[in-house]
Amino acid sequence: MDAKFRQAALDYHQYPTPGKVRQSSSKPMRNAHDLALAYSPGVAVACEAIASDPDSARHFTGRSNLVAVISNGTAVLGLGNIGPLASKPVMEGKAALFRHFAGIDAFDLEIDASTPERFIEVVAALEPTFGGINLEDIRAPECFVIEDELRRRMAIPVFHDDQHGTAIVCAAAVTNALLLQAKELSQVRLVTSGAGAAALACVDLLVTMGLPAANVTLTDIDGVITRDRTGMGANMARYARAGPACRLDEVIAGADIFLGLSAPGVLRAELLPLLADRPLILALANPEPEIRPEVVRAVRPDAIVATGRSDYPNQVNNLLCFPFIFRGALDIGATEINAAMKIAAVRALAALAREGGPCPFSSDYIIPDPFDPRLIGAISPAVATAAMASGVATRPIADLDGYRDVLAAIAQP
């Protein structure tokens, strides 16, 4: 970033009011009667109703449309462990995106909790306040423990977007790229560069959708993840290989999919000829990918490339899914966001790109643009339907066509 852009970013955050979110009242406060209804004595009536019937909180409070964006700042963007206070601009930004793209109110909560145990206790105690929990920028492997335990303890959706949002958009890109390349998920071989939370979530979701686990090779800075690697969690160990810890360049030959969630320049141009015919290259390191698309095009014009950057085609951006997944989950009172709901989001997102949009479906348009107003109408009903079918909806929607009309009014052009 040059100095001009950096100053523009600071000005954006500071003026005319510091920060990116603020709270506003949804009810009038014009006179004494309004005040009596909003607070004492009228508020007691709503309190008594909820004490008698907890489910009525969705009628008398904003809980069912309220998400917490929560972080301890231990793995912020590409900045690392900068702490909860320095993470606040990111969390405010996420809250603003929820509101703008899906009409969801969101509070950002930055927690001074460096251990999973403290983090879990703090967040679990907040369940009466929120309809859903969006975990953000928590380092691995603590993020796995935190999400698993919170999902077990809480009866509202808990979603670590760094993992699952990335995985859903990545899986949609894979779905459409394989269709264009005339390949089947059950037949391809995938090699990763990176074995952190996002990479493992991507692999897990693809395996759930039909990629054989035996066709996956995980690598990180120390080489291939092998069975003698110490300190592995179960989600990594299931893909560990027998044999020595080879380097990426020793295992990439014949790979149909390269999944990069690691570091700049890891996939060198001289390795590209080793990939299978018609490969898919997901170079998702940010801001600098594992390889630039123009380098790939010069060496492998038969490849399809996606990055995490907005200045190249096929941007794998979590914004394509997380607001709309939560919209669907909140609207049917989901108790969790399960695998069926994630797969429904993948399929809806992939299908939307195949319908065209700003560009026709092609190797340069395998996933939609984040500003596509059709996203909410495609993804949220698909997620809601999957939640109902999988038995995690507490408030099923009978009229899905009417629901789509409601969503259309929320959609941003």
Enumerate the active-site residues.
39, 94
38: number of Cβ within 10 Å: 14
Q: Is 326 exposed, middle or buried (0-12, 13-18, 19+ CB in 10 A)?
A: buried
Q: Which of 303, 370, 354 is nearest to 165 (CA)?
A: 370
Angle among Cα 369, 372, 375 to the nearest 5 degrees reads 105
Spatial separation of the C-alpha atoms in residues 413 and 230, rounded to whole Å? 50
Q: Which helix (H) or strand (E) holds 9?
A: helix 3-14
Residue type, 128: P
Q: Establish whether 137 is an annotated binding residue.
A: yes
Q: Establish whether 317 is an annotated binding residue.
A: yes
Q: Establish whether 162 is an annotated binding residue.
A: yes
Helix (H, G, I), strand (E, B) or coil at 119: helix
Going from the C-alpha of 387 to that of each of 158, 328, 383, 396, 401, the distances in angstroms are 14, 9, 6, 9, 17
Q: Establish whether 405 is an annotated binding residue.
A: no
Contact 232, 141 (CB under 8 A): no
Q: Is 78 exposed, middle or buried (0-12, 13-18, 19+ CB in 10 A)?
A: exposed
Contact 26, 61 (CB under 8 A): no
Task: Write out the DSSP string of 37-73.
Answer: HHSTTHHHHHHHHHHH-GGGHHHHSSGGGEEEEEE-S
Among all chains, which residue has been given the structure tokens 């808990």?
158
Q: Which helix (H) or strand (E) holds 258?
A: strand 257-260
Contact 89, 128 (CB under 8 A): no
Residues making up the binding site: 136-137, 162, 286, 317
Residues making up the binding site for (S)-malate: 286, 317
Residues making up the binding site for a divalent metal cation: 136-137, 162
